Amino acid sequence: MSRIPPQKAPLFGGPGWTAILLAGQRPGVDPLAEAFGETWKAQVRIAGEAMLSRVAKTLLGTPGIDRIVVLAQEPEALFTGDCAWLADEPKVTTARSTSGIAASVAALAGSAATPFPVLLTTADHPLLTPAMVEAAMAGLGDADVGVGMVAASTLLAAYPDNKRTWLRFRGEAWTGANLFALGTPKAKLALEAWSAVERDRKKALKLLWHFGPLLAIRAATRTITLAGALAQASKRLGFRAVPIALPFAEAGIDIDKPSDHALAEAILMTREAS
């Protein structure tokens, strides 16, 4: 892991949280970056500022976050333009991603420079607020892993036309919030499982099938809740995972396509105007 700049090393090893900020992208040309004339998705500007810069400022402004590791294929290449200030921020370091997100995070989490507890989020989440981050950290409790989720009833009440990937369980459908709380070394077991299912993360039934046919059938027939499904899957793998139901509709909106960008920009402009 490289530190930027070396003369301003972060104060690692404190009692607070480490935030790993995912700022890489999949191989090939990213459609959103291309649409906005950028090489890197994280540098796409929204409401006048690059997404990576916005998310980093949110994390730094959240009580309890002591350090940030920006994880990307070429993290130093991102620290230009709006994001140039990150190179001089003593609480920020960088790490290069490897063959996959989960494997890259597993290589960092729990190290001397990236101690537990760890909060994982993404650069394409410019609507993130300190309140959302604090809720995700508090929601972990004594579990090994917490998964930030937003209920369909919460998100669609505020943004009825928004298109998300929904995981449907008994009583409610859910979408991810790109917020994960990793509390203990057992979280590495979750990262191993994530690595195995990473390519199916947006295909609900295929994802659940990795944890056994019975669980997949119960989810398909909506005879199990999200909390029940996470409890069963994680117990089978040797750790305890809990869903963290976030009461913020915007927590479920990340930026994958121009329509997401337009919605998020309108939300940010309204926020900043008020």
How confident is the model over 75-120, as pLDDT tens digits? 999 999 999 999 999 999 999 998 788 999 999 999 988 999 999 9
How is residue 64 written in tokens? 């309890």
- pLDDT reported for residue 28: 80
Reported pTM? 0.89
* Residues 29-62 as b or e (16 or more Cβ within 10 Å = b): ebebbeeeebebbbbbbbbeebbbbbbbbbbbeb
- pLDDT reported for residue 142: 96
Low-confidence residues in the chain, pLDDT < 70: 1-15, 196-220
- pLDDT reported for residue 194: 83
Which amino acid is present at 134?
Answer: E
- pLDDT reported for residue 9: 34
Domains in the chain: boundaries:
2-127+253-273
- pLDDT reported for residue 3: 35
Spatial neighbors of 67 by CB under 8 A, at least 6 apart, are: 10, 11, 12, 14, 16, 18, 19, 91, 92, 93, 114
For the domain covering 2-127+253-273, report its CATH number: 3.90.550.10
- pLDDT reported for residue 209: 53
Residue 180 phi/psi, 5° resolution? -130, 135
- pLDDT reported for residue 12: 37
